[in-house]
Structure formats: C-alpha cells, structure tokens
Amino acid sequence: MTAEIIDGKAFAAKLRERVGEQAHAFTKAAGRKAGLAVVLVGEDPASQVYVRSKHRATVAAGMESYEHRLSADTDATELLVLVERLNKDNAVDGILVQLPLPDGIDEQAVIAAISPDKDVDGFHVTNAGRLAVGQSGFVPCTPLGCMMLLTDRLGDLSGLEAVVIGRSNIVGKPMAQLLLDANATITIAHSRTKDLPAVVGRADIVVAAVGRAEMVKADWLKDGATVIDVGINRLPPAEGEEKGRLVGDVDYAGAKARAGAITPVPGGVGPMTIAVLLRNTLVAAYRNEGLEPPEDL
C-alpha cells in the first residue's frame, strides 16, 4: 500500500481563489473591501516572515491589509489601546495579534481584548465557547483547515474513530470538537496517555499536533488510516547541510507505506492556515455588514 498524498498546497490555492471571488462580490455589495489588521510587536524573525506572508495573501485576495508594527518595548497598555481602536474601526473586519508577544505582555489579556466578532484567529474564549456548544463563531485556522482536508478526502466522518495527539487550545482541543461535531468518535491523546501506540492503532483518523519530530511511528498506525500531520519541526543539520530539513510529527517515510492518506510536511497543513485566515476575515466582513456569508466559504 502506498498512501494517497493529501495536497494541502493545492487545496489552499483553490480556497484562496474562492475567497478572492467572494471578496470581489463583497466589495460590490458593501461598497468597501474587507479588511484585516495584523499587529506585530517586536522583531521576532519568524513572526516578521508570517506577517509579510499574511499581508501579501490578503492583498492578493482583494482585501485591505492594515499592518501595525510596534517596537519590542511597547507596553501592554499601549497595545490594548490599539486593539480597542481596531475594535471600533468599521474598516477592520478581522484583528490578528501575532504571537508570541514580548515578555511582560499577557497574551491572554490581549486576546481577550479583541472583539469576538473580529477574532479571526478564533482564540477568544467566547469563540471557544461558541464552538463547544455548537454556535456560530470563529474556529482557529489550523484545525479548520485540517477539517476541510479530511472532509474533502473522506466525506462523511460519522462513526469513524479519530485520535487527536495534542491538547493545545490552538489545535488539539478545537480539532477534537470539530471532529465530534462531525459525528466522529474522539480520543484526545497527550504526553500522559498510557500505551499511546495502542490508542493510535485504533484510529481511522490520526491528527498529530504535538510538536515532536517524527514521534508517531508507522507501526502505530492502523492500515489505511488517514493521517493529518500538523507538526513542523526542523531537524539538526546533517553533515554538509546548512540547515536541517523540515519534518512533521509523523514518520512520513514509514507512514506512507501503511496509511491510506497522509499530509506531507511541508506542503500539507501549513498552506491551509493562511487560506483559512483569509476565509475567516471575509466571513467576518459579511457578518459585520449584516450580510449572509456565501456557503462555499
């Protein structure tokens, strides 16, 4: 058996194309473009790369991108004042404060200050609660992207057994809730799970989001399982390499011979995250104008 490769890059490109088409329709209906404000505090190199990528993608989708770059010595009060100003700005539909924040700023307090209706990252406790009780809100981008890939490949997930490895608020917990809402049977596994290989071995769907390079071994997997690898880890450089290669949380080379389908790293889940961020921003724009978001978003 050789696993089908789930091409997240291609799926994300199609989603971004749909978002672009619907963003144009929104502009015609509302008389303005949808707007995403991204706030970057400090000089973290990885965060700067992410912010540039989000800016380019937002503009390419036909939406307004508002960047706010603050110095690393910005205090919490100044940041919260900016967030409140963005909450009140009718041109801004989505607010994203790039994490991590510098030491001394309470990330949870900043997230809590963002209006839940502009929280396109889906991190606000109100949106977490809405997801838990089945109300309409914003879901964190990575797990929602994973669900899109799963339903595209498998269709109806009812009755399937799914194991989510990792229990973070950003991926693990919302991923489990989305799978539960799709009528799958869910186990959330973590660092204290007893006999993790046996737990994983029951699963029709495995979502690995633990942040440990190639932790999930091929012989843990049930034959034909669908594997969504959220992890992105850089190995130490081999001899002659300038930098180590990127790998996921799953032993990809081994898993390809056992799984029914698997996402690669890179090119699997990663491209979905920004695509879903754009999707969430456009949904927020429609809602903020009192319009019904299109069904194909």
- Catalytic positions, written as ranges: 54, 98, 121
C-alpha 294/C-alpha 297 separation (Å) is 6
C-alpha 136/C-alpha 138 separation (Å) is 7
Structure-token match 């209006």, residue found: 115
Q: What is the pTM of this model?
A: 0.95
Written as six digits, the tokens of 166 are 């990792």
Report domain extents, the chain.
30-116, 141-271
Written as six digits, the tokens of 230 are 């959220």
Output the CA–CA distances (angstroms, integers) from residue 257 to 5, 76, 108, 248, 274, in the order listed.
11, 50, 42, 16, 30
C-alpha 76/C-alpha 73 separation (Å) is 10
Written as six digits, the tokens of 149 are 């890939």
CATH superfamily, domain at 141-271: NAD(P)-binding Rossmann-like Domain (3.40.50.720)
DSSP letters of 26-38? Answer: HHHHHSS--EEEE
Give the model's pLDDT for residue 144.
Answer: 98
CB-CB neighbours of 181 under 10 Å = 15
What is the topology classification, in CATH, of domain 30-116?
Rossmann fold (3.40.50)
One-letter amino acid at 290 equals G
Decide if 30-116 and 141-271 have a common fold: yes
Could you read off the pLDDT tens digit of each residue along the chain, which spans 297 residues?
Answer: 799 999 999 999 999 999 999 999 999 999 999 999 999 999 888 899 999 999 999 999 999 999 999 999 999 999 999 999 999 999 999 999 999 999 999 999 999 999 999 999 999 999 999 999 999 999 999 999 999 999 999 999 999 999 999 999 999 999 999 999 999 999 999 989 999 999 999 999 999 999 999 999 999 999 999 999 999 999 998 888 888 899 999 999 999 999 999 999 999 999 999 999 999 999 999 999 999 999 989
Instruction: With H, G, I as helix, E, B as strand and everything else as coil, classify residue 73.
Output: coil
